[in-house]
Amino acid sequence: MLDIIKLLPDSVANQIAAGEVIQRPASAVKELMENALDAGATQIDLVVKDAGKSMIMVVDNGCGMSETDARLCFERHATSKISKAEDLFSIRTMGFRGEALASIAAIAQVELKTRRKEDEVGVKIVNEGSVVKEQTLVPMQPGTTFTVKNLFFNVPARRNFLKSPQAEMRHIIEEFTRVTLMHPEIGFTLNSDGKEVYHLYPGNLKQRIMGLFGSNYEEKLLPVRQEAERVRIDGYIVKAEYAKKTRGEQYFFVNKRFIKHAYLHHAIENAFMEMIPKDSFPGYFLNIEVDPADIDINIHPTKTEVNFLDVKLVYAILHAAVRKAIGQHNLSPMIDFDESADLNNDFGKAMGMASPLAIPNIPIDPNFNPFRKESAPRESHWEGSYQPQRKEPVGDWRLLYGERTDLPSETLVQKEEAKSNCQYLQVNQSYIVTPVKSGLIVIDQNLAHSRILFEKYLKELENHSGASQQELFPQALSLNVNDASLLKEMLPELENLGFVLEQANPTTFMINGTPSDASGCDAVALLEQVLDNYKINRTDLQLDRKLNLAKTMAAQLSIKAQTRLSEMEMQNLVDQLFACNVAEIAPNGKKTYVILNMEDYFK
């Protein structure tokens, strides 16, 4: 019987490794940019075409490589970072396995140009499918340029599984963000299809966050600083009032390497407990500095997962640091109330006053009782012509006071007439109660209005009939690059609803008009909420996108609980609800009303 076990050729082994390390163009971007960081670069430029499918180029001004190293770097497990297994527990560089370049070269056409400062010329190597096709000397500036073309050219099945250019570009931007966040001292640029997406200048962490996510983050961030014996945590958290409904800006780093860690994420969620809604997520940009001997990062091909020697200690320190930052923000005074002893005198002199300012003395009548009946007019202590007048209570007097017998008889007659004509009663300013043939119907005003608006917006989306009102003062909506890309996808539907948006630059939109029934609402907050919900339920199906948008708009603009309605408003709401196609169910699946059958309660 013949032997059946055999060694795989290097080319096949490299393609298998590539399946673990290089899953999409963004994976190659991550590996090449981390190599540039390890090379000590102070400026790194990323250029992509066709969302990385056609070309990825990373240019850095780092230390460069010798001719021998340039040839050897494409070999599997070739690395300058470790020489023995124990070195894995003292790693401080981004890459160390020596798989990345071999994996990229196995499934793409790669051109490497590199030069050290001490060398007069650089070396150029062309590698296709793990085979070196060319090696020559070239004049160039010190540093390294990696150009990756036709990713997965020899693995068509993997190429077919890539998403749309917009989706793949979002993955590239996410990897670019993760690499650049914790290296604010380094300049970065990102160019896509000839257009500059990011130009990040060297600075501090807060400036880097604002460069990536928008200048409006300056007011959203709270600094976090905590240092213990073996752990140091620093970075920023996003204030509770800016929590989002998606896991957007959540970035953990260990020794400046991006990681995912559900247990540590729970520490932050726990610190924000009762400060944000249950369906919202806190934002954070935090770096945890620990001794490399206390972590194991060699447990995942992409190195996004780590094991901590004492994860409970890290949890406790992280939780305490976030709570401290939140507490300092909430307790710090907005105004300094400590005043100078000579403040009043100085102000009086500045205003030309001879004497210092005095607290005004307002005369009051301590014996005045507004509820006491008086047969004779009371002597007024008020100066001038204005006299306080007693007024009848405003609103639904039956709910507030019951059957008042001390009101004038004429007023009682008017109230009784109103009582006999009233068909709608508002309970707790949240529910509308009105009689029906079998008893009473109780309508949730918020859910009912959501159903009305939902069907209205669906109709407008289908018929392109949304009415718009012009904004007297257009508002600016600043987004990060990914969110701006999503908003561009949604523009046709938003315009059908009545929004008038103009793109001022790649990440800023001017809101020139809003739907006619969105009068008085915060248009920026409304569109941010629409984006959040769109990210949660994003789909390529046009119908589902319209349903999602209509649901979000209805939820945001519907009448809220604890809103007082007039009888006419209640009547209009009830009439519109029962004119809907599906009156009994709200867009979120809850009942809009219940019917109380009186016979069931009085048997």
Q: What is the pLDDT of residue 363?
A: 64
pLDDT band at 478 (very low <50, low <70, confident <90, very high): confident
Question: Within this chain, do residues 99 and 28 fall inside the same structural domain, yes or no?
Answer: yes
Q: What is the pLDDT of residue 187?
A: 97
Residue pLDDT, tens place only, 430-449: 999 998 888 899 999 999 99
Domain boundary among 175, 198, 221: 198
For 439, which DSSP code?
Answer: E
Q: What is the pLDDT of residue 381?
A: 41
Two tokens, residue 563:
């809103």
pLDDT value at 198 more than 60: yes
Two tokens, residue 413:
């007659």
User: Rounded to an integer, what distance in angstroms lies between the CA atom of residue 26 and that of residue 173?
Assistant: 8
Least confident of 233-237, 301-305, 446-450, 523-527: 301-305
Q: Tell me the sheet residues that pair with 103.
A: none
Highest mean pLDDT among 15-29, 286-300, 304-318: 304-318
Where residue 459 sits, what CATH number does that domain have?
3.30.1370.100
Q: Phi/psi class of residue 139: alpha, beta or left (left: φ > 0; alpha: ψ in -120 to 50)?
A: beta
Residue pLDDT, tens place only, 212-247: 998 889 999 999 999 988 899 999 999 988 888 777
More confident residue, 61 or 216: 61
Question: Within this chain, do residues 128 and 154 fall inside the same structural domain, yes or no?
Answer: yes
Least confident of 15-19, 241-245, 277-281, 496-500: 15-19
User: 293 with 90: CB under 8 angstroms?
Assistant: yes
Domain containing 148: what range? 10-198
Q: What is the pLDDT of residue 82?
A: 44
Domain boundary among 301, 329, 357: 329
Residues 6+ apart with CB under 8 A from 582: 451, 455
Whole-number percent of the chain with pLDDT over 90: 38
User: Rounded to an integer, what distance in angstroms lies between the CA atom of residue 100 and that of residue 301?
Assistant: 10
Residue pLDDT, tens place only, 374-422: 544 444 443 333 333 433 433 343 333 344 344 344 444 343 444 445 6
Where residue 132 sits, what CATH number does that domain have?
3.30.565.10
Q: What is the pLDDT of residue 180?
A: 96
pLDDT value at 490 more than 60: yes
Look at residue 595 and tell me if it is in a domain: no
Q: Tell me the sheet residues that pair with 131.
A: 128
Q: Tell me the sheet residues that pair with 128.
A: 109, 131
Mean pLDDT of the chain: 80
| Distances in whole angstroms, Cα of residue 425 to Cα of each of 94, 433, 576, 597 | 67, 5, 17, 17
Mean pLDDT of 80-107: 62
Residues 6+ apart with CB under 8 A from 589: none
Least confident of 287-301, 346-360, 555-569: 346-360
Where residue 280 sits, what CATH number does that domain have?
3.30.230.10
Q: What is the pLDDT of residue 356?
A: 55
Look at residue 371 and tell me if it is in a domain: no
Look at residue 419 and tell me if it is in a domain: no
More confident residue, 400 or 467: 467
Look at residue 128 and tell me if it is in a domain: yes
Question: Within this chain, do residues 95 and 189 fall inside the same structural domain, yes or no?
Answer: yes
Q: Taking Cα atoms as reference points, which of 570, 568, 592, 572 lies closest to residue 581?
A: 592
pLDDT value at 278 more than 90: no
Question: Within this chain, do residues 157 and 264 fall inside the same structural domain, yes or no?
Answer: no
pLDDT value at 94 more than 90: no
Per the structure, how many domains does the chain have? 3
Domain boundary among 278, 307, 329: 329
Look at residue 325 and tell me if it is in a domain: yes
pTM for this model (two decimals): 0.68
Question: Within this chain, do residues 87 and 219 fall inside the same structural domain, yes or no?
Answer: no
Residue pLDDT, tens place only, 137-183: 999 999 999 999 999 888 888 888 888 888 899 999 999 999 999 99
Q: What is the pLDDT of residue 546?
A: 83
Q: What is the dihedral of CA 82, 87, 88, 89, to 10 degrees?
A: -150
| Distances in whole angstroms, Cα of residue 24 to Cα of each of 76, 108, 162, 300 | 20, 12, 7, 17
Question: Within this chain, do residues 44 and 93 fall inside the same structural domain, yes or no?
Answer: yes
Residue pLDDT, tens place only, 542-590: 557 788 888 888 988 899 999 999 989 999 999 999 999 889 899 888 9
